[in-house]
Structure 1
Amino acid sequence: MILKIIKLGEDILREKAEPVSEINDEIRKLADDMFETMLDADGVGLACPQVGKKLRMFVIIADDDVRRVFINPQIIKTSEQVCDYEEGCLSIPQVYETITRPQKVTIQAFNEKGRPFTLDADGFLARIIQHEYDHLEGIMYIDRGDKKFAEKTIEQFKKRAERAAEKSKLKEAKARKIAAKIAAKEAKNK
């Protein structure tokens, strides 16, 4: 099932996610739905807060095409070497910025079967892991870049949300008006 992706401006994206208490069929179904949602949106990673769930879990498919689920992850080591890469985010569509991050990470987590694992990652895989892990901490990639760019992006998404809310109000008012006309017509015909 394709889930709704939460956009910048929603509070859940700025909150720290809570540990998954039990890895069960419900969590596995959520992971499957997140993969489906991520692939439908042409993404490479998706964290629970991005689909409205305040849980410490994310899914990724990097350039090796391996589906990976990270439940209750902890980054335990990062390299001193860093690299720059232009990042984007499904919660901030069509906005990109060059972000500096450690080249390598070591992460511990549980998979969807409840088995613990440790993964040493570098390059693109390490970057996706760090990006998605940040979501669990309430951090967006724009927070790691230029402050003015972040402020501008936040303001832009705030205005988008305001326009969407106004459009929704107008649509609801129009629907009420049509419903009232139909009800009046039906009452007249009785």
Structure 2
Amino acid sequence: MSIDTLKSQIPDYAKDLKLNLSNILSSTALNERQIWGAVLASALAAGNPKVIAAIAEDAAQHLTEQDAKAAKSAAAIMAMNNVYYRSLHLLSNPEYGKMPARLRMNVIANPGAEKLDFELWSLSVSAINGCGMCLEAHEREVLGKGASKEAVQDALRIAAVVHAVSATLTGEDALPESQQAAA
């Protein structure tokens, strides 16, 4: 399945998502590797199997195996970190923030891809997972490595659109009429 096939599965009531899905694949602030890594990491974070399959198929044409692995690593490590650091942020007791996390995060130091790219992909995943502490940390890293605010915005737009497509298709699959049509 490709992204074009995926677009054909988006219902008419969500036609803006079809348009946005096409638009996120081009950027004046991100290069092709950064775009496709963010799209792949976002799909994995959003979790819909159809979206993951379609995006992974197309991303394989734009990313090296090493870059695809790094994008997957960003989704994996942020799945853990976003829960942990979002929880620290939400708890009113500041003592938890002073305690060592005791979580392995070696991939952040050595992601197997350009550090800026990995940080952008981590930013996208953190947006989907809703971790303010991680968003701030990755934005600071991205800007500190020379990326523009437009690059940050594009990474966030990618996350928003991929998440919305994933949520819409997950919802459609759960609707009774979809289940009857599949039977």
TM-score category of the 2 structures, normalised to the smaller one:
under 0.3
TM-score (norm 1): 0.26
The structure having more radius of gyration, on CA atoms, is 1
* Higher RCO structure (Cα 8 Å, ≥6 apart): 2
The structure with more helix, counted as a fraction of residues: 2
The structure with more strand, counted as a fraction of residues: 1
